[in-house]
Copies of this chain bind each other. A is one copy, B any other.
């Protein structure tokens, strides 16, 4: 379930957005000022934030500073259409902005685009006869289910999202463990090993010596 946080103090607009996004299959949460937003963001993970600029207590741009560190995409809503405001929105790190009044169908289009861009709307990942449904924590090989643990699936998904790209050990570590990589640790190698075994991915997961790993879908190379 993709979760969207709507930060908008005008209830009619907030309700309109929530109604439409819910209908489109997203999970919505509404808050009505910037402080509430900051609080709920601390405790819960969202995939996208729709953020009104004019808010009580904390304005949208200030809140944006905080959100930026969370790396959640933001679509700004603004009544202002002055050039400075549009620029401010874009340069503050928002993914997109909409000027009120807006058509709800356009908002939906933008939501989809931003989510697709961020790959949150993750369909199934595919590689050869392997299908990984990240949202449902399921993996099949040739139609038969293969049981992976959460960490294993995370690693597999990272590899599958980056087919034919060499993933450096440092990057994998950072993305999956959120930690610094240290040479002494055999953790990553071990997980790779487990994936190779469970999915019979022998040489499809190539080891790039001293560098990292790469999931390769062909034996030929084209750069």
Q: Indicate if the CB atoms of A136 and B86 lie closer than 8 Å.
A: no
Copies in the complex: 2
Given contacts A109-B90, A117-B117, A136-B166, contact A143 B83 (CB under 8 A): no
The complex places the Cα of A166 from the Cα of B147 at a distance, in Å, of: 13
Residue tally, chain A, CB below 8 Å to B: 37
Q: Indicate if the CB atoms of A221 and B144 lie closer than 8 Å.
A: yes
Interface 1/0 per residue, A118-155 and B, CB below 8 Å: 00000010000001010111101001110001100000
The complex places the Cα of A60 from the Cα of B184 at a distance, in Å, of: 54
Chain A residues proximal to chain B, CB less than 8 Å: 83, 86-87, 90-91, 103, 105-106, 109-110, 113, 117, 124, 131, 133, 135-138, 140, 143-145, 149-150, 165-166, 208-212, 214, 220-223
Give, as a whole number of angstroms, the nearest-CB distance from A16 to chain B. 16
Residues of B within 8 A of A222 (CB): 140, 143
Q: Indicate if the CB atoms of B87 and A105 lie closer than 8 Å.
A: yes
